[in-house]
A and B are shown apart, each in its own frame.
Chain A
């Protein structure tokens, strides 16, 4: 089993809708969780970090963590074309998922 899994294929959402991304992890003792955004041809950029169960909101982004079920999700509200990117989930310091591509359709 891979440490961090992002299984969904490319996600297309209309402008203004909510984009929902999910990530599962295998290490039950994991303590820190991150979402990075990567535009095509660019390096990843940290957009959210979460350390305790529940929701954390930052602008249009909400990260949700459920340690019992070992998943972390990212919601993007009021999606904009500028949100079109690949989103990487990371757990602890060294484990990254392969990413999910989001395409926001105007």
Chain B
């Protein structure tokens, strides 16, 4: 069966500090991978998605970036965090060529102070 991992689970960072969040998927190959952010009381905002190694599509221009160095690894980064980057970051995977279902990881709760 497929499993998706995210770490860390919670993170408190000062403004201006760098960020690296990691997501890995087990039990499947060539998945579509997604990064979402959910601010308090708001809906899911798609940040990035990837259909393969090194292929990243950005949905929202901002100070975040994503990379996919391996087939089942997706990394979200920032060089300098802003207060507005606080939120619940969710990684998700879906089958390449599937019916577009997405399966979410446990999430990382980021607080920028």
Contacts and interface: CB of A to CB of B under 8 A. Distances in A.
Interface of B: 32, 34, 42-44, 46, 49, 59, 90, 94, 99-107, 109
Nearest to A43: B104
Interface residues of A, number: 20
A32 B99 contact: yes
A12 to B, nearest CB: 18
17 contacts: A34-B100, A42-B107, A43-B105, A43-B107, A44-B44, A49-B101, A88-B44, A92-B100, A93-B32, A93-B94, A93-B100, A93-B102, A94-B46, A96-B43, A97-B43, A98-B43, A99-B43
B41 to A, nearest CB: 9
A98 B41 CA distance: 9
